[in-house]
Amino acid sequence: MPYSRCIRCKSSPENNYCNGASTVESRGNNFSEAFTSFNSLEQIDHEFTIHNVKVFSTFKYFSRLHRFGITTNATLTIEENEFLTELWPNTHSPPIIQRSLNIVRNVRLCLKHIVDFINFTTTHEKGLIF
């Protein structure tokens, strides 16, 4: 039976103190439920990695995400996403990135989209580290 849900991590010694991390779990091929879970994210405080995801061509599914990184070691990593062609579409404002950003080996993501995203972020937040 397909379903998707967000699972909030309970920080404990058994899971190396995940510090409240969340994961999206999806069973079956009903990705629309998983995408709906992403729509609920408004802020990410710590580390967030989107790695080797084969179903994203855009991050439009993160439409409510407004801010990333309130801790000094927060890092957003977007890497090796084979089908990613744009970050946030023009119809959505991208989130403000307050800390480190790594965009690595996304073969279909053109440089212009990356530069536009960096320019938007640096005009709204001066503390971005590349």
Q: Is the pTM of this model over 0.75?
A: no
pLDDT band at 106 (very low <50, low <70, confident <90, very high): very high
Domain map of the chain by residue range? Answer: 1-40, 41-130
pLDDT band at 110 (very low <50, low <70, confident <90, very high): very high
Q: Say whether 113 sits in a helix, a strand or coil.
A: helix
Dist. CA 9–CA 96, nearest whole Å? 24
Question: In terms of C-beta density within 10 A (0-12 exposed, 13-18 middle, 19 or more buried), how is residue 59 classed?
Answer: buried
Dist. CA 34–CA 53, nearest whole Å? 13
Contact indicator for 100, 69 with CB cutoff of 8 Å: yes
For the stretch 43-74, pLDDT in tens is 887 788 888 888 889 988 888 888 887 777 78
| Angle at the Cα of 89 from the Cα atoms of 88 and 91, rounded to 5 degrees | 120
For the stretch 111-125, pLDDT in tens is 999 998 888 877 766
